[in-house]
A and B are shown apart, each in its own frame.
Chain A
Amino acid sequence: MNSNPANEKLIDVVDLSVQRGSNTLIHNVSLSVSRGEIVTLVGPNGSGKSTTIKAILGILKPNSGSVSSLDRLAIGYVPQKLEINWTMPLTVYRFMRLTQKHDDATIAAALATTGVDGLQKREMAALSGGEFQRVLIARAIASKPDLLVLDEPVQGVDFNAELEIYQLIARLREELNCGVLLVSHDLHIVMAETDTVICLNGHVCCSGTPQVVTNSPAFMDLFGARGSEALAVYRHHHDHSHGPDGEVIHHHEH
């Protein structure tokens, strides 16, 4: 690994826009992640969180904007939905080695880090939701990434395990000295560990430290009115409308 200076910028995303047909999925999204930083994308369903991640990772082609990253940046990715078709006999061990030739010790260490060592011989299709997500994260960290990208990593996981997985992510940031780009619905849980929050609703509504963001008018409109306990199922209150091409139309009423 290279010198790993603290706070070096891992990725820099400038004015990223993705369109599908006449729909603007995201519009001029800019963000950056530095080493040791946890950046969390929050926003309602359909606000373009996953789209942003996929455009950054090159899974979707952006229509405009740029993504620049550190030379030879190693990225570990935990996708949002990963269904293993039960018709494929795939053990955890094999899944860990699907694209990379990790040795047994590396695999055991990665699985131990996420608390699921010993599952190597189990079939992926037979894992519980929590085990499955931990294996996914173990796979993402096995190659010692500089940047960990997690798209809703607690889907299908029960509440207690949810909290543990978020604590695990915070710990991984320390252990791997990596940056973390996280998509989450569970705002109330992730806030404590997050350095930078980005509220997305097709565009960046507001961003900053959790303290700054939670006090910003845009955030209050997005989340505040419902109270923190309702955040998991919050409704989105617009302080502005979106034009047909995704452009923001302000109402100036607050």
Chain B
Amino acid sequence: MLDDFYIRAMLAGVLVAILAAPFGCFVVWRRMAYFGDTMAHSALLGITVALLLDIHVNIGIFVIAVVTALSMVVLQKRSDLSNDTLLGILSHSSLALGLLAVGLMSGNNVDVLSYLFGDVLSVGQQDVIIIAITTLIALALLILIWKPLLASTVNEELAVAEGSKPQHVQLIYLLLLAAVIAVTVRIIGVLLITALLVIPAATARRFATSPEGMALLASVTGVIAVIAGLAASLQWDTAAGPSIAVAALAMFLLSSVLPRR
């Protein structure tokens, strides 16, 4: 079954959509859409680092995304600049550095566009297995930290006063988000990852009555967007990543004219 490139693409896309949605809910709840974007933008640099060091691309992306996220956390504590300015600096400088590095490595036949906008149709058997394992582990760990992470998302000071240590679960969340980004780049591309994180979550909000319900509904929305986007991409020979993002947008627009419940 995994022989067919189309089936592999669908499978990888659906898994990534299921994985990204609950993480995307926390991105929305914690108001860190731009933070997620910054981590995603650093992925291009991660790819070049991986190619230079001859390690797996996913590991390169993961490591650089973690470094970016941690530097952001440190900068937020130390700097006099506002968060959005810091994110703007980090986001675009890491993207620019990544583009430069990719350009310098032209001998490697690196297809920049496939990383910027995704290349889901080239997903191999091994990729599908990596995505499936990452999805299982990341979701299991997220469920494990769900309660304290949710409490610290509602109000960090309240959580601290009641004896929990939000820094630990927040760190785990950032590490997992980096892993999500690492496996998602291939599907939808560096520039559009945030769409798969944020748009399904935003679509689910109006119809959800609990945080868990919102995460589930966002997963369903993401899966439909991926299937519709990939089908459209094959039908009209459009780029897969943007097609998925546009499908997600269409669902968001549709949902905002639907009555609640």
Contacts and interface: CB of A to CB of B under 8 A. Distances in A.
Contacts of B160: 57-59
A59 B165 CA distance: 10
B157 A59 contact: yes
A100 B210 CA distance: 17
A85 B156 CA distance: 13
A90 B211 contact: yes
Contact of A89 (B147, B161, B211): B211
Interface in B71-116: none
A77 B205 contact: no
Contacts of B31: 85
B4 interface: no
B157 A90 contact: no
| Of listed A59, A79, A87, residue having the most chain B CB within 10 A | A87
B83 to A, nearest CB: 16
Contacts of B155: 79, 82
Given A85-B31, A87-B29, A87-B205, A79 B158 contact: yes
A1 interface: no
B51 interface: no
A90 B209 CA distance: 7
Contacts of B147: 99
Question: Range of interface residues on chain B?
Answer: 20 to 34
B150 A59 contact: no
B209 A91 contact: yes
A79 to B, nearest CB: 5
Interface string A78-90: 0100101101111
B159 A99 contact: yes
B162 interface: yes
A84 B154 contact: yes
Contacts of A88: 29, 153-154, 211, 214
A38 B116 CA distance: 61
A91 B205 CA distance: 13
Interface in A43-77: 54, 57-59, 75, 77
Nearest to B201: A87
Contacts of A94: 210-211
A82 B159 CA distance: 12
Contacts of A98: 150-151, 154
Interface of B: 28-29, 31, 147-148, 150-151, 153-155, 157-162, 164, 201-202, 205, 208-211, 213-214
Q: Which 4 A-B pairs have the closest CB atoms?
A: A77-B161, A57-B161, A89-B208, A88-B29
14 contacts: A82-B158, A85-B29, A85-B31, A88-B154, A88-B214, A89-B205, A90-B154, A91-B210, A95-B154, A98-B150, A99-B147, A99-B159, A99-B162, A99-B164
